Chains A and B, each alone.
Chain A
Amino acid sequence: KNQVEQSPQSLIILEGKNCTLQCNYTVSPFSNLRWYKQDTGRGPVSLTIMTFSENTKSNGRYTATLDADTKQSSLHITASQLSDSASYICVVSAVDSSYKLIFGSGTRLLVRP
């Protein structure tokens, strides 16, 4: 069964600190993995997208890694800001014709001053 699991479920950090969010998946055949940021009451916004051959991808203070062998990904946030408070969702797509996405349950991040 195609699944995406994220940890931790929630996280509280102080402004300026770094943090790492984890994502494990059992999607096959794998097409790509995305990390989204979702602010409360808003739609998800894409941060990074990685295919099978990519190990790391950065977008400003966000750096995503992918280990296709162990089927793990991480999202590292550097020098956190209050505006980073949001849910971060790991989403994996399989190689098929449906274009459906498999969503993780998300990590709720709260950055405190």
Chain B
Amino acid sequence: GAVVSQHPSRVICKSGTSVKIECRSLDFQATTMFWYRQFPKQSLMLMATSNEGSKATYEQGVEKDKFLINHASLTLSTLTVTSAHPEDSSFYICSALRVAGGLDREQFFGPGTRLTVL
């Protein structure tokens, strides 16, 4: 299967600082990546769709100025949590969409990043 990596795997930061999380598709190109957030014992919640070379599309209720997404290449998308606060503490997961042709498309998930804001 396709491989998607995330870095860092966990990060602890002080309230008010910004944190950048990287998502890379290692063995395929992805024009579309997705960013999810997951709270304990809950399922994944889509935050935004990241499109290479264009602006991200945010889900309702997600602040685009707080969660900055940059998809500058076909293998890398970054999520920056600006001015992080304790309520932003969560598990952030990215996925990369692999399009093999026709209707064959599948999202491959990264291992996740645990963010703790003190």
Chain A interface residues toward B at CB < 8 A: 31, 36, 41-46, 49, 89, 98-101, 103-106, 108
Contact surface of B with A, Cβ cutoff 8 Å: 1, 4, 6, 32, 34, 41-44, 46, 49, 91, 93, 95, 97, 103, 105-112, 114
Choose from A31, A43, A100 the contact partner of B110 (Cβ within 8 Å). A43
18 further A-B contacts with Cβ under 8 Å, apart from A89-B44, A103-B44, are A42-B111, A43-B4, A43-B109, A43-B111, A43-B112, A44-B109, A45-B109, A46-B106, A49-B106, A89-B43, A99-B49, A99-B105, A99-B107, A100-B34, A100-B46, A100-B49, A105-B42, A105-B43
> Measured between C-beta atoms, what is the minimum distance from A42 to chain B in Å?
6
- How long is the Cα–Cα vector from A101 to B112 in the complex, in angstroms? 17
